[in-house]
Structure formats: C-alpha cells, structure tokens
Structure 1
Amino acid sequence: MKLSYKLLSMSAAVAMSTGLLYGVTTSTNLPINQKAVHAESASKEIIFQAKSGFDAKDYIKSIGGSIEQEVDLINGYIARVPADRLDQVKAQNGITNVSESHRVESTTQKIGEDNVIGKALGQRNTHNELIKATNVQYTGTGVTVAVLDSGVGAINELNVTKSVAINPDATTTTDLYGHGTHVAGIISGDSIHTGVAPNTNIISVKLGTDGGYVDEVDLLLGLQWVFDYKDEYNIKVVNLSVSSTISQSYLDNPISAAVEQLWLNGVIVVTAAGNDQYNQSDINYAPANDPFVITVGALDGEGEYSASLTKLASWSKFGVTPEGVTKPELNAPGVDIVSYLSSETAILAKEHPEAVYNNNYIEMSGTSMAAPVITGAIALLLEANPDLTPNQIKYLLTQTAQPTATAGSNIIDVEKAIGLAKNKDYLNNLNLSNYNNFEQSQYINPSGNTVDYSKLSWHSLEWLKLSWHNVDWAKLSWKSQWDSIGQSLNN
C-alpha cells in the first residue's frame, strides 16, 4: 500500500520552477528552527511496531500522543509522544521495537581548502580513470537511480526525471543546501567534470528541510517512497550519502529494516561508510552497518591516475560491527571531488566560498562523494546486464577490485566487473551464500534467527506485512534450493 502523499505528482521541471512541494505526512509542521528543539523537549518522535491485535492508535492517543504515519515498508508506525511517557511506551506489552527518530547527517568530511580547489580544477576529476570507467562503452542509459539527499538543483546536464520532497517543512523540491546536487553530479554529470554514468536517469528524493535538517523519519519515509514507486519509475539503485548520528545495532534500527526490504526486492542500496578522523573504526551507524547494503569508503587519489597509489582517506570509517559485519565492502575516490553546485546562493556555497568555482561547481570530500562513484559504476553494470541482482552486483565489484596503497581497501575496477557481468555462465555458477547468512533487522525478523536466503528457508522468517507476491522472485537469482520453496510462511 502506498503512503498518502499530500500533493499530486507532476513533472520535475514544473516542480522546480514553481517551488511546489511533494510531501508526505511526517512530523509536525513546525518552523525549521523549532523542529529539533520541539523534538527534544516537550515530545519525542518515535518509530515502532505493535503486536497483532493491539490498538496502537488508541494507546498512543490515551497517553497524549498521536500517530503521524503508518509505514507499510516496516509494518510500523511513526508517532509523537510526550517525552515523559517514552519509557512507558517502551515498556508497553503491546508495543515492540521502539526507536527514537535521531538526526541524520550528510557524510561530507570537508568542503574546499585553500589551494586545493585550484589543483582539482586544473585537470578533470581523476575518479573515472582510477576506477577504469573511461573506456567502457556504457553510460548508464536506461538505468534510474534515486538520490535521497537534500534535493537536486536544475542543472541542464543532469537528467532529473522526477523530484519529490518528503518533509512538509520543505518549500521546494530543489536543492537549497547544496549537497544532493553535488552527489547527483558525481553519478551522472556530463560536463568537464564528468560523472561516472552521464546518461543515468536521476530521481531526486529530498529528505529534509530547505536548511538541510534531516531525521530518521524523513529517511524512512524517503525509502518508503522509493519502495512504493520503484516499479513505476524502474528504480534500480538508491544512493544514500547520509548517516544516522546515533550508534545503534542494525538489528534494532528501522532504517536498516527499510533498506533490507529494498535490497530483497531487487533495489541496490549504496550508502556512505561515514567519516571520523579521530575514531575511524566507529562504524556502527545506520544504514552503513547493515549487511544488506553496499557500504563505501573514501580513497584519496592525490591527483594521481594510478589506482595502486591511492590510499584510504584518514577519516574514512572502516572496521567490523558488533554483529561481525566487515565494512565497507567497497572503496572509491572521495577526496577533492569537484561537481555541480545547485546555486551560488546555496547554503554550502555561502558557508564555503573558497570551495566554489565559477558559481557552477563546488569541491567536497567525504564518503558522501565516494558512494555516488560506486552508484554510477553500478549504473554502467546494469546497462551492460539489466538482470543483475543486488548480490551479484556486490560480488562482481568486490571480486574484481584492485589493491591500493592501503591494505584491505581495494578500489573497484569497472572494466573487469563489466566483463564478468556479461558472462552468463560465470553468473550462473556464482556462490553467493556468504552474502545472505546474516541476521535481519528485528523489525523484519523478530525471532532473531539467521536467515539463509541462499536456501530460501522461510519457516524461520516472519515477513509481517511483506506479502509473498511483493517479492520479485525472478530477480532473487541466488544459488537456491528450490525444493525448499514449498515451506510455508504461516509461522
């Protein structure tokens, strides 16, 4: 079931020119500068599930709260409750998996530095050369990517086919902050600073306010929008250059449940590893810590064209989560990346004038910049072979990656990955079981059992409201034991 969206859809061009809002009912319609204060004082915005037969709406109302949205993607609710009743809600027998909605931040480490912008603009970005994407015959034609970020500006070289805004506090679908446009340009820019896959279609899902404030409710509803419209717009990849600000197991996080649902329904989710120059191993933040996504670390090419000379950026996160998931799986250039600026009046342009060039470009560094390099590479692979599954994509890119100057931080090799992507015999014999033997989020698998999707053993999995027909089985081409498919979902 699709969410109840506030306004009817129209073309991206009309939306950008008129400033009209696409939105869903999320949090209260407070002024931008009051939202965080309100959330941390009088009330709390939460995401939760309810047990079968429990009247969650009546209960939340009885304690002075309100249900703001049902979220079918995770079979849950978004509610606002009095702050002094939060512990009561968590202890209520009919309610499960309560999670507060925390702030979500972009994963940009730095924006411009003296003398660096000039160096970067003295030549083309080197990331396409470093990942060996310059000599391939593919450009992402026919592939659609959803960019969940601060919006995407009206850039002629970007093929933005749809723009929506999730947060009702946003006044326009366009990018008044400056981050999302930069990210989209890395994926599909087509100018002197060329994107990885310049013919890719971009769908812009603006998450937060015009000022760049985003919380987990915004991100969750953005992911719900993608799930609702993935078939209508043929969305194959989602780029998330964002991170939660609270360390939390992926098993307990509703964002993790949402990205897992997309992954298991054939949508490839690419997310930034995050940045921390003081504690690089602090990797336990959603959605980067989830095993059912591709997490991307940032490499520093230092202006070189040789992949072997690149090294992991000093702030790019890496490590093993408490659940034993090694992150990131992939790495790509993410330092001193020049891409489109949404507007010379964008917030980031005003805050960092030293990073702006000719009012059209801005230089940024971060895993926010590395993730869209991978997203663009995936668009190339999907043009070469549209039938590739998320697990196959992950396998191809990890197995063909090449060593860098930092041990264990290999860089993708697009040419080699595409070569294997077109080899049907090779794909048919892949053993992808290692990608599937992970426990899922408690929002999806309350029993806490490890689910082996290579065997499709569904007796241990409670899909809640995700019905059998909603899973596109034709695209779940893991090595499967189809004789087990007869086991029921009734438990």
Structure 2
Amino acid sequence: MTSALLGNVFPTAAAALLVLSVSPVVTAETPLLNSRGSSAHIAPDLQRRMQSNPTRQVPVIVQMKALPPVPRTTSQAAQTALGLVRQHGQGGKALGIIQGASGVLAPSEIDALAHDPRVAAIYEDHPVRWSDTTNLVTAYPAEVNATDVWAAGGSGQGVTVAVLDSGIAQDPDLSQPTNRIVAAVNFADPLPLGVQDPGGHGTHVAGIIGGNGTSSNRQYVGIAPRANLLDVRVLDSQGSGRASSVIAGLQWIVAHKDVYGIRVVNVSIGAPATTDFVHDPIAAAVEVAWLRGIVVVSSAGNGGFGVVDSPGIDPHVITVGALDDQGTPSPSDDIQPAWTGWGIPIGSDAKPDVVAPGRRIVSLRVPGSTLDKLLPDRVVAASNGATYFRLSGTSMSTGVMSGVVALLLEAHPGLTPDQVKAMVSRTARPFGQQFGLLLPNPTAGMGIVDAHAAVGSASPIVAPRGLRLADAAAQALYPVLYGQPLNWKDPSYAGVDWSQLNWSNLIWDNLVWDNLNWDAFNWNNLIWDSLGWNNLIWDSATLNNLIWDVPSTGPPPD
C-alpha cells in the first residue's frame, strides 16, 4: 500500500495509525515512535511534583509501549523497563501486569526517560493506605443474609480470596481445624521473624471475609467461614506502601490464579485518585485481573462526599461503601457514616456500586500490632474470654462484600466477574426505610448487598457495557490480543476508514483503544501464557525498601 493511497483512505490520521511498508522493521533497536510525538506521557501530578522541587527524587512507575507488529511478552517489557529505570536512576521492581517497572528518579532523569521512544507513560508511585476507621457486637452476617446461606449449606468452601493488605496472622479462626491460609507472599518491607501482620489490618479484614469463630465458640464469625485465604502483603506495619507494591501483588495473584484457585481479590486499601481511571496504573492492574476471571472488590475509601479512592474509581470492579448497621440485623434502621466515600469519578460510573456494614465491625485481633497499640479501647472480649478487635471503615465493608462473593462463587462457580457484579448489584436491598431513603442513591449505589438473594438468583446474561480499558492495561494486553478479530465501535471514527486496519498495520495507541470494541473479545479463550509471567522472579528480597517511607496519618475516624 503506497503513501498516496493511505492519504485517501485515512485522510486525517494516516500517520497516527499505520506503519508504512517503507518504514524500517521494528526491533528493540529501532522502536516505533509515539504516534502523538516522541515524548512519553508524564502524569500531570508528577509534572507538578517535578516543577515544585526540581532536585528531589520521586518514586515512579514507568510503562513501556506495545511495539507492533512484533508483540513481546509483558515480562520482557517489564525487564526492559526495569533496565531503563536503572540506567537513569534507582531501580525498583518489574511490573509485568502493566508492562512496566518502578523506581526512584530525579526530575531530570524522569525528563530524559520520557524522551525514550519505547516509553509510553511515567506515573508517580503514589502512597497507598488501608481504608478504615473503628465499635459493637457483630450483626453484619445476618444483616447481609449470609446466615440464610449458611443454613442452606453455603460457607465459601473451595473459593480462595486473595487479601491485598498488611498481612494475615495465623489466628485460630483462620488456621483451625485446618489452615485455610493457603499461601503468603510479601511485597512490603521485611517481616520480623515469626510475624505475619505487624499492622493488624489485614488479619481483621481476613476475619471478616472468612473467620470461623473457633476462638469465640462461633460468637464472631466471618461471612464465608470455610473460604480459603491468600495473604498478599503490600503494606508495612503503619499501613503504608506504594502503588507499585499493589501492582506487583496483583501481578502475583494473576500469575498464580490457577495454582491456588483464586477467584476473588479483596482490596481494602486505596490511593488518592489523582487522575481518571484511564491513566491510573493501579486501575490498569485490577482490570487485567478482572479480565483474567478474578472478581476485584475494592473499598470506596473514607473521604466522604466526592472522594473515591483508587482502584475503586475503576468502572469494572465492585466498589463498596459503608453502612452503620446500628448493631441490628435489620437494614431498616441503617444509616451511612459521613466518612464513607462516594461520587462520580472522571470518566467512570457512579461509585460505590453497593454498600455493606462497615462501622464498628468486630473481627480478629493481632495482639501487639500497630492498630492494637494505637486503639486499645477497641479490644472486644467474647463470652469465653477470647479477645477480638473492633474497627470501622470501607475496608471492613469490602471484606463483607468479598465474603459474599465467595458464597456466590461456591454456589455458581462458572460465573464471570461481570456476572458476579451484575448479580450482587441487581439483588441489593433497600435500607434506612425508617429515614425515607430511596434507591438507587448516589451515596449507596444499588443498596445493601444480599448474599441469600444473590446466591438464589439466576445467572444473568450481561449486556456489553462498552467500557474502555485503562491505557496501561491496553498496552500490557497487546500480546494476549494480537491476532484476534478486531471490532470497531465507529467505522469512520476520527475520519479513518477502520475497515482497512489490521494487526499488521495499526499502531497500538489510545486512538485505537478509544474506538476498539473491547467487549467483542472472547476473554475466556485467550492464551494468557503469552504474558510470560512464569519467567518473573517472585523474590521479595529483591524489593527496593527505600521507598516505603509514608508516615502514618494518625488514628482512623470512628
């Protein structure tokens, strides 16, 4: 095809969309130029940080481009990214799930790296924290009708829930009569010998999901008391970490999905949403997990009106807000705490999608942990003297939701994440009738999750939603999608004749991603091994611990 013909077929975007036959062969030595120019996208918040202090080093995440027409595995791209970061500054870890790497660079080094034509984008590696607050004897299993599911024989057995958090301690409620913590991996700072959760937050969340009440003679029981749990530690003892640790944890979960039967990932942590989900690297990572068949349940955060944390801003995932169940099993007297996050993130759906009890939730205690020392008045004694712990926040609500999803997947193991989200949303119940609350409500989504109604409902046929993938997810999925049929939303979008495009002549960039019908791909039949993650070295000792320096911001709100 000649350049003259291309000018007729593609009148406005020929240079942006085609690799001409006269162009040199694309190799690692002769990378494609960015169709929007030679410089990578530097996130606006990172640009502001660079301008405010031109000499201070900044933790960053660097993402590589997919390089048509020769797809690379994402592990290869991640190793290339890590090598580039090390050439310019201090390297962190490979992040194959978004085809990138983390590190620490000075502003001048960031600017130099942005001019490498292989680099797609550079983001700040934002701090992440647990999403909680804090009091009462538990009513939440009956509140969400989990007790009715138990009566019918459901318990979450056979479903593994990965918990991205501060760790999971070997509590009897999780480890007896058999140990249901099937594996543990650490992407945060080194752990002291014999300690699994120095913060105490992850264990509390894990108990909400799957505690079986062994220590309390079943006085305090989680939602799915026979579900398996997988400890993916990404936060330090103060509840702090970086986006790159969350991404690395999600990458590990996806790579080990089939080994441990991981169907759900609980993300009771969050980072400030400094951009829309399309340009958010954590959102990209949860999308890859979602498309791989893992239900991602994320907290809305505790910022109140107009504030939703990442990755809860992503339209694909189930984002959960908090309710105060007032210590009763009836939703009619429920109210929403002022701190529960809600709003409409840029380019996304209204969030949260659903709500669940999240105030004064009693679950597992880790004696001597950070939270245990910080909030000694939150220790709760069971009638037999066993001690538990009381916390509040959308972290707790998210644990409730993850337990409900485990019950649902035990009953209907063939469900896709989209079907799970549709079922828990459509069967959600009203609450606060005593106060005249109407649903759907922007602060509460479709209402309070109902485990029994969801388990008893028919599997839905989910209509395509036309969702766009985040940029980093689109880049990373190039080797998986390469060669699949291409389906376009608008055959003449941006003045281009899209019928002329194929894998050999398109440039994989955001103009293509905007018009691509992502729902048309058969995600279940893709060859995910092409990502090449089995070649990555999962050794937490290689992590760069110099960037785990985010201070605690004090006790969580009640």
TM-score by length of 2: 0.68
Runs of 4+ more than 4 Å apart: 39-42, 52-59
**Is the 2:277–2:348 contact (alpha carbons within 8 Å) kept by the matching residues of 1?**
no
Shift of 1:394: 0.5
Shift of 1:41: 7.4
Aligned to 2:378: 355
Aligned to 1:189: 211
Deviations 1:80-129 (A, max 9, x none): 22244323433544322211111001110x23xxxxx4xx13xxx11111
Aligned to 2:39: none
**Is the 1:275–1:317 contact (alpha carbons within 8 Å) kept by the matching residues of 2?**
yes
Shift of 1:69: 2.6
Aligned to 2:505: none
Q: Which residue, out of 527, 531, 544, partners 1:469?
A: 527
Structure-2 change in CA distance of 1:44 and 1:396 (3 Å)? same
Deviations 1:298-357 (A, max 9, x none): 0111122211321222111112111042111111010110111122x1111111111112
The 5 A counterparts of 1:396-415 are 396-405=423-432, 406-407=437-438, 408=441, 409=444, 410-415=447-452
**Is the 2:82–2:93 contact (alpha carbons within 8 Å) kept by the matching residues of 1?**
no
Shift of 1:220: 0.9
Identity of aligned residues (%): 32
- Describe the SS at the equivalent of 1:134: helix
Shift of 1:42: 4.7
Aligned to 1:417: 454
Q: In structure 2, how many angstroms separate the alpha carbons of the residues matched to 1:309 and 1:58?
A: 57
The one-letter code of the counterpart of 1:146 is: A
Aligned to 1:177: 199
Deviations 1:183-228 (A, max 9, x none): 0000011121110010000111111333432111111111111011
Aligned to 2:366: 342
Name the structure, 1 or 2, with higher relative contact order (CA <8 Å, separation 6+): 2
Structure-2 change in CA distance of 1:66 and 1:387 (3 Å)? same
**Is the 2:285–2:473 contact (alpha carbons within 8 Å) kept by the matching residues of 1?**
no
Q: Which residue, out of 466, 473, 493, partners 1:444?
A: 473
**Is the 1:97–1:442 contact (alpha carbons within 8 Å) kept by the matching residues of 2?**
no
The one-letter code of the counterpart of 1:161 is: V
Structure-2 change in CA distance of 1:302 and 1:58 (3 Å)? closer
Aligned to 1:462: none
Aligned to 1:148: 164
Aligned to 1:487: none
Structure-2 change in CA distance of 1:180 and 1:306 (3 Å)? same
- Describe the SS at the equivalent of 2:284: helix
Aligned to 1:49: 63
Structure-2 change in CA distance of 1:189 and 1:347 (3 Å)? same
Higher percent of residues as strand: 1
Aligned to 1:10: none
Q: Which residue, out of 114, 117, 135, partners 2:148?
A: 135
Q: In structure 1, how many angstroms separate the alpha carbons of the residues matched to 2:66 and 2:109?
A: 22
Shift of 1:62: 4.5
**How many residue pairs were aligned?**
403
- Describe the SS at the equivalent of 1:162: strand
- Describe the SS at the equivalent of 2:429: coil
Shift of 1:450: 5.2
Q: In structure 2, how many angstroms separate the alpha carbons of the residues matched to 1:305 and 1:61?
A: 55
Q: Which residue, out of 121, 126, 139, partners 1:97?
A: 121
Structure-2 change in CA distance of 1:326 and 1:175 (3 Å)? same
Structure-2 change in CA distance of 1:371 and 1:89 (3 Å)? same
The 5 A counterparts of 1:47-446 are 47-51=61-65, 56=81, 59-63=84-88, 65-108=89-132, 110-111=133-134, 117=135, 120-121=136-137, 125-136=138-149, 137=152, 138-158=154-174, 159-171=180-192, 174-191=196-213, 192-277=219-304, 280-283=305-308, 285-343=309-367, 345-358=368-381, 360-405=387-432, 406-407=437-438, 408=441, 409=444, 410-420=447-457, 423=458, 427=460, 430-434=461-465, 437-445=466-474, 446=509
The one-letter code of the counterpart of 2:143 is: L
**Is the 1:107–1:275 contact (alpha carbons within 8 Å) kept by the matching residues of 2?**
yes
Q: In structure 2, how many angstroms separate the alpha carbons of the residues matched to 1:348 and 1:41?
A: 36
Structure-2 change in CA distance of 1:418 and 1:291 (3 Å)? same
Q: Which moved more, 1:331-340 or 1:305-314?
A: 305-314
Structure-2 change in CA distance of 1:202 and 1:226 (3 Å)? same
- Describe the SS at the equivalent of 2:265: strand
Structure-2 change in CA distance of 1:80 and 1:149 (3 Å)? same
Q: Which moved more, 1:138-147 or 1:397-406?
A: 397-406
Q: In structure 2, how many angstroms separate the alpha carbons of the residues matched to 1:49 and 1:454?
A: 24
Deviations 1:29-56 (A, max 9, x none): xxxxxxxxxx997522211223467965
Q: Which has the larger radius of gyration?
A: 2
**Is the 1:341–1:361 contact (alpha carbons within 8 Å) kept by the matching residues of 2?**
yes
Q: In structure 2, how many angstroms separate the alpha carbons of the residues matched to 1:231 and 1:339?
A: 29
**Is the 1:154–1:342 contact (alpha carbons within 8 Å) kept by the matching residues of 2?**
no
Q: In structure 2, how many angstroms separate the alpha carbons of the residues matched to 1:103 and 1:342?
A: 24
The one-letter code of the counterpart of 1:441 is: A
User: Aligned-pair RMSD on alpha carbons?
Assistant: 2.6
**Is the 2:61–2:100 contact (alpha carbons within 8 Å) kept by the matching residues of 1?**
yes
- Describe the SS at the equivalent of 2:231: strand
**Is the 1:451–1:457 contact (alpha carbons within 8 Å) kept by the matching residues of 2?**
no
Structure-2 change in CA distance of 1:226 and 1:42 (3 Å)? same
**1:455 has 2:486 as partner:** no
Shift of 1:414: 1.4
Q: In structure 1, how many angstroms separate the alpha carbons of the residues matched to 2:522 and 2:260?
A: 31
Stretches of structure 1 lacking an aligned partner (at least 5 in a row): 1-38, 112-116, 459-465, 473-491
